[in-house]
């Protein structure tokens, strides 16, 4: 006798179709359940935004995703495409994050949600960095339209101030020299997200993806002001 296990009988087309319908039905039910949980989480997020910054709602949303993934690891109706889905470890990072959010309500700060050690100079937020990139690029456009570097930096600084852009702390609105420093720092480096974005903007403009001809100063400054207001920084 052969030691090989007996072959499974091949499924007919009807059996395969029935199995597929069962799988799709099971997946659809799980998606509907997750959607309901996410909607409930959003309600808590909006309701408690002032109290805890939306932490409760965020934790519930993460738990909904964890439940959705785990529903496949425990299901006999749906076979995951990757056997690794059977491992509970896949959801472990999310579970740890949920636990850390809960611990914050108890006054305990886990490493996963602890802020990075402060340096002597506060790091700018991403929206603020984006504004600096756009401001530096606006200087380039104004110089292309005929303004001197000093004039362009002054115009950009005044536009930022009028649009409500303020530096952290008590520094207030940026001065022309500050804008010039942003531009010089971005031009001298090709490392980092902000510098990369700056050079991509310049490349886009240089390769003709921008409208032809020198930009109009009023249009440049208007676009900068609109961008600052949308960024809400």
Confidence of residue 82 (pLDDT cuts 50, 70, 90): low
Q: Mean of the pLDDT values across residues 169-186?
A: 88
Rounded Cα–Cα distance for residues 164 and 212 (Å) = 31
Q: Where are the domains of the chain?
A: 18-113, 126-231
Q: What is the pLDDT of residues 2-15, one digit of tens each?
A: 556 555 556 677 77
Rounded Cα–Cα distance for residues 90 and 212 (Å) = 51
Q: Quick check: 179 and 139 in contact, CB under 8 A?
A: yes
Reported pTM: 0.46
Distances in whole angstroms, Cα of residue 9 to Cα of each of 2, 20, 40, 81: 18, 17, 46, 21
Comparing 210 with 59, the larger pLDDT belongs to 59
Q: Mean of the pLDDT values across residues 115-123?
A: 59
Rounded Cα–Cα distance for residues 84 and 207 (Å) = 46
Rounded Cα–Cα distance for residues 39 and 82 (Å) = 29
């Amino acid at each position: 006798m052969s030691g090989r296990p007996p072959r499974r009988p091949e499924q007919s087309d009807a059996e395969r179709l029935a199995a597929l319908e069962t799988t799709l039905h099971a997946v659809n039910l799980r998606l509907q359940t997750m959607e309901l949980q996410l909607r409930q989480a959003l309600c808590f997020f909006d309701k408690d935004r002032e109290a805890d910054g939306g932490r409760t709602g965020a934790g519930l949303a993460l738990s909904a995703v964890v439940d959705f993934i785990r529903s496949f690891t425990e299901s006999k109706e749906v076979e995951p495409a990757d056997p690794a889905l059977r491992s509970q470890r896949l959801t472990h990072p999310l579970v740890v994050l949920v636990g850390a959010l809960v611990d914050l309500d108890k006054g305990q700060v886990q490493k996963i949600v602890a802020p990075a050690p402060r340096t002597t100079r506060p790091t700018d937020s991403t929206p603020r960095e984006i504004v600096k990139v756009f401001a530096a690029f606006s200087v380039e456009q104004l110089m292309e339209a005929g303004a001197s570097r000093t004039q362009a930096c002054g115009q950009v600084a005044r536009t930022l101030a009028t649009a409500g852009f303020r530096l952290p702390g008590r520094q207030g609105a940026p001065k022309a020299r500050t804008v010039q420093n942003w531009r010089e720092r971005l031009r001298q480096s090709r490392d980092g997200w902000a510098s990369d974005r700056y050079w991509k903007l310049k490349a886009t403009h240089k390769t003709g993806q921008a409208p032809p001809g020198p930009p109009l100063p009023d249009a440049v400054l208007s676009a900068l002001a609109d961008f600052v207001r949308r960024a809400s920084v």
